A and B are shown apart, each in its own frame.
Chain A
Amino acid sequence: MCTLRLTKEKLFFMLTDKVANGGVSMWSELLQENFFDEFQIEGISLEYNEIYLELAPENLSRALKTAHNAKSVKIKLTKKHCPCITIAVELPSLSSISRVVTHDIPVELISRRLWNDFREPSVPDFDVSIYLPPLKTVKNVLDRMRNLCHVLVLEANMNGEMNLKIDTDLVSVSTHFRDLGNPPFREGTSRHFQGQDQDPESLTEVKVDIRKFQQFLAGQQVNPDKAICNIASKRMIHIILLHEDVSLQYFIPAIL
């Protein structure tokens, strides 16, 4: 289940950090005006003009798949047999009257007092921040490593170098990337950066479950312009995808 938060300007899709899900969490933001011609929202009050709801993301993606050559798509919050997101798709037809497909996706509304549980996850204090190589390349490398070992060692430094490694009794494999570049720090982000004083050549390493990393890569339908990877040694990797319409953050916990 994922949480959808609607506000006047933005849509948020969130997967919250639950141990049962393996501790992976996700946060994505979409600017409403980039997607919709018309957008109306009426929250519970003027002060809290927002809606929080929970839905099965696979339902949403399946419903929207049927709409790929649609003339128009309308998304509404409706009250059917239960609260639903109704997606009404107008498809071209052989006659003058359009074909209409509607999908009612059951949702659960989240009451006002639980809203605080869904705040943007705080950016961890990280040791290294680096741009990721093209995600397709990373995926190809990991798909092969996965057959050998389930623990991925990711190490990087502030000199644009990154290594993806696995280590077993029989084999050690390492893939090196260089000249990746490190994102410049803007006001506000530098306070999370702990590695100011360290040698830019020294590598910070973190171990993660290779399958969790793969899941993130498999889900990439948006091809991001840039992907930033922040490494918090022994705690997590924090990946930020930058795209003109969408921003997506992904948190993968470390294996100690």
Chain B
Amino acid sequence: MKCVVAGSNVKVLGKAVHSLSRIGDELYFEPVESGLALRTVNLSRSAYACFLFNPLFFQQYDAEAPKEDSQFRCKIAMKSVQTIFKSLSTLEKTVEKCRIDLNLERSRLVFQLLCKYGITKTHKLSFQECESLQAVFAKEECVAILKAQPKLLVDTVMNFPATLEEVNVTVTGERVLFRNHLEEEQDITKLMVTEMSLAADEFDHFEAQEDISITFCLKELRGLLSFAESSGLPINIYFNDPGRPVIFSLDDPVLEVNFVLATLSDEDTRPHEHTVSGAKKRCPPQADTANSTFLSDDIDAYMIEMETTGLEEKQELPADMPSCSTERGTHHALDCFQENSGSDTESEEDIPGTPPQKKFRSLFFGSVLSPASRGPDQTLLNQEVLAEASDEDEAPK
């Protein structure tokens, strides 16, 4: 494996690393035939990002694995990669080329920055071989598709405080509303509520079959926005009902970027979204999502939630099942994660359109749930449960 990035593309690579570092602590590095994939996922598995650099992005690109039978892929500490690309202005001014090499004898991934005046900076990073990190999502299935120039979203997000965790986006008729999401435990008599309304024709593309309101974390989006702003690429936004991930993507002939963020699900939409994704059943958008109640970002809750979601989706619960009256909704962790190893990886690239139902692999439990082997009455109990389910998080019976 060997690749060389030249000229202004070094800065693009650096910006990508910056943007990824907003999300995860580990960078998944995977050179494949179709290009170099840099991926990360956040600690609570609620946000995933992937930059796929086409071979044309590089001056020289060779994905060939060191050993014939296996595909090389690894993860490296985000901090060390960040250090290499720390100063974007230096990258722009002095770095002429960046060479990435694999030194198998020493087990090091070597980044070389070839600078002006013949200076070469070499960073040898230790790595850990790992399984492929993939989120499977289907942009085509999304009922709302928006396309916007990065400036529009940057200007919008600017109106919200930097400390704001989550933002709520409502698409209704010919308008898109952004507002800050309020946690249940927050004292609304102390917090400033900000709302921004954009006309549909400010978007390059606006397609929403019905009114939808979703809530997701702003921090990760800011990472994408800074990349999009510098590259000037329009941002495509794909989303569905609350609880299902929202996908932000950038497309360029030499680069494909996908950010997948979990959205908050709420009590009213929960029973419906647990039906098969093909059956597009939806309840009317909430008039005031700010008042609906949510669970805080509790990782344990994510885990349980993810596991139960997986089961439910497989079981294809009838649409008329009694609506579960769980008192609170939660963030749906991205229930479409796979951590694959070995041979079946290539067939399951995170190409948009791969159906999420194929196989459900939990990133948390490392288990594979195959639909056939699971009876409807099987519960979490025969799994190694890392966190006890509280009453509220129990799967609907």
Residues of A within 8 A of B (CB): 56, 59, 62-63, 66, 80-82, 84, 91, 93-97, 99-106
- Which of B93-101, B186-194, B264-272 is the interface stretch? B186-194
In contact, A105 and B192 (Cβ under 8 angstroms): yes
C-alpha spacing A103/B197, complex, angstroms? 12
From A66, A80, A82, A99, residue with most partner B Cβ within 10 Å:
A99
Assembled-state Cα–Cα distance A94/B159 (Å): 17
Q: Is B386 an interface residue (CB 8 A)?
A: no
In the complex the two chains form, what is the Cα distance from A105 to B152 in whole Å?
25
In the bound complex, how far is the Cα of B197 from the Cα of A105, in angstroms? 18
Q: Within the complex, what minimum Cβ distance (angstroms) separates B144 from chain A?
A: 19
Please give 10 more A-B residue pairs, beta carbons under 8 A apart, in addition to A62-B161, A99-B199, A101-B197.
Answer: A63-B192, A66-B159, A91-B155, A94-B202, A99-B196, A99-B197, A101-B196, A103-B194, A104-B195, A106-B191
Q: How far is the CA of A81 from the CA of B188 in the complex (A)?
A: 8
Closest beta carbon of chain A to B150's beta carbon, Å:
13
Docked CA distance A93–B201 (Å): 10
- Kindly state the separation between the CA atoms of A9 and B23 in the bound complex, as whole angstroms: 51
B198 touches A82 (CB 8 A): no
With a CB–CB cut-off of 8 A, which chain B residues contact A94?
Answer: 152, 201-202
Residues of A within 8 A of B193 (CB): 80, 84, 103-104
Q: Are A95 and B188 in contact (CB under 8 A)?
A: no
Q: Give 22 CB contacts A-B under 8 Å.
A: A59-B192, A62-B192, A66-B158, A81-B188, A82-B188, A82-B189, A91-B155, A93-B198, A93-B199, A93-B202, A97-B199, A99-B197, A101-B159, A101-B194, A101-B195, A101-B196, A101-B197, A102-B194, A102-B196, A103-B194, A104-B194, A106-B188
Q: Among B152, B188, B196, which residue has the most Cβ atoms of chain A within 10 A?
A: B196
B185 CB → nearest A CB, Å: 15
* Contacts known (A66-B158, A66-B159, A101-B159); A95 close to B202, Cβ less than 8 A: yes
Contacts of A106 in B (CB 8 A): 188-192
A104: chain B residues within 8 A (beta carbon):
192-195
Name the interface residues of B142-189: CB closer than 8 Å to any CB of A. Answer: 152, 155, 158-159, 161, 188-189
Asked if residues A99 and B202 are in contact (CB atoms below 8 Å), the reply is yes
Instruction: Name which residue of chain A comes closest to B149, CB basis.
Output: A94
Which of B161, B190, B196, B201 interacts with A95 by CB under 8 Å?
Answer: B201
Chain A nearest CB: distance from B90 CB in Å? 31
Number of B residues contacting the other chain (C-beta, 8 Å)? 19
Report B-chain residues with C-beta under 8 Å of the C-beta of A93: 198-199, 202
Question: Bound complex: CA of A146 vs CA of B109, how far in Å?
Answer: 49
Interface of A: prevailing SS? mixed
Expressed in whole angstroms, the Cα–Cα distance for A122 and B190 within the complex equals: 32
Give the residues in chain B near A59, CB-CB below 8 Å: 192
Contacts of A56 in B (CB 8 A): 190, 192
A100-B202 CB under 8 A given contacts A106-B188, A106-B189: no
Closest chain-B Cβ to A132's Cβ sits at a distance in Å of 34
A95 to B195 CA separation, bound complex (whole angstroms):
19
Most buried by B among A56, A95, A96: A95
Cβ-closest 3 pairs across A and B: A97-B199, A95-B201, A104-B193
Establish whether residues B161 and A100, one from each chain, have CB atoms under 8 Å apart when the complex forms: no
The residue on B at minimum CB distance from A80 is: B193
Q: Are A100 and B197 in contact, with the CB atoms below 8 A? A: yes
A95 near B199 with CB under 8 A, answer yes
Question: In the complex, what residues of A have CB within 8 A of residue B202's CB?
Answer: 93-95, 99
Residues of A within 8 A of B195 (CB): 101-104
Residue of B nearest to A98 (CB): B199
Nearest chain A CB to B155's CB is how many angstroms away?
8
When chains A and B are docked, how far (Å) is the Cα of A96 from the Cα of B161?
27
The CA-CA distance from A106 to B192 in the complex, in Å, is: 6
By a CB distance below 8 angstroms, the chain A residues around B161 are 62
Chain B, residue nearest A60 (CB)? B192
State the Cβ distance, A102 to closest chain B Cβ, in Å.
Answer: 5
Q: Which residues of A contact B152 (CB under 8 A)?
A: 94
- Least CB distance from B270 to A in Å reads 25
Residue of A62, A80, A99 near B198 (CB, 8 A) is A99
A82 to B186, CA, bound (A): 14
CA distance A66 to B190 in the complex (A): 20
CA separation between A106 and B186, bound complex, in Å?
13
| Chain A, Cβ-Cβ closest to B160 | A66
Q: Return chain B residues, CB-CB under 8 Å to A91.
A: 155
B352 CB, nearest partner CB in chain A, Å: 28
Residues from chain A with a CB closer than 8 A to the CB of B192 are: 56, 59, 62-63, 103-106
Complex CA–CA separation, A104 to B192 (angstroms): 5
| B residues less than 8 Å from A102 (CB atoms) | 194-196
- The complex places the Cα of A149 from the Cα of B197 at a distance, in Å, of 51
Chain B residue numbers with a CB within 8 Å of A97 are 199, 201
Of all chain A residues, which has the CB nearest B156?
Answer: A99
In the assembled complex, which residues on chain B have CB atoms less than 8 Å from the CB atom of A80?
A: 193
Which residue of A is nearest B197, CB measured? A100
Residues of B within 8 A of A101 (CB): 159, 194-197
With contact pairs A66-B158, A66-B159 given, residues A81 and B197 touching in the complex (Cβ less than 8 Å):
no
Q: Which of A93, A94, A104 has the most CB of B within 10 A?
A: A94
* Chain A neighbourhood of B199, CB < 8 A: 93, 95-97, 99
Interface contact B191-A100, CB-CB below 8 Å: no
| Residues on the A chain within 8 Å of B198, using CB | 93, 99
Chain B residue with the shortest CB-CB distance to A88: B195
Q: What CA separation (Å) do A62 and B193 show in the bound complex? A: 12
Q: Which of chain A's residues has its CB closest to B179's CB?
A: A102
The answer for the CA separation of A94 and B191 in the assembled complex, in Å, is 30
Which chain A residue lies CB-closest to B182?
A: A81
A183 CB, min distance to chain B CBs, angstroms: 40
Chain A residue at smallest Cβ distance from B204? A94
Residue among A56, A81, A91, A105 having the largest count of chain B Cβ atoms under 10 Å: A81
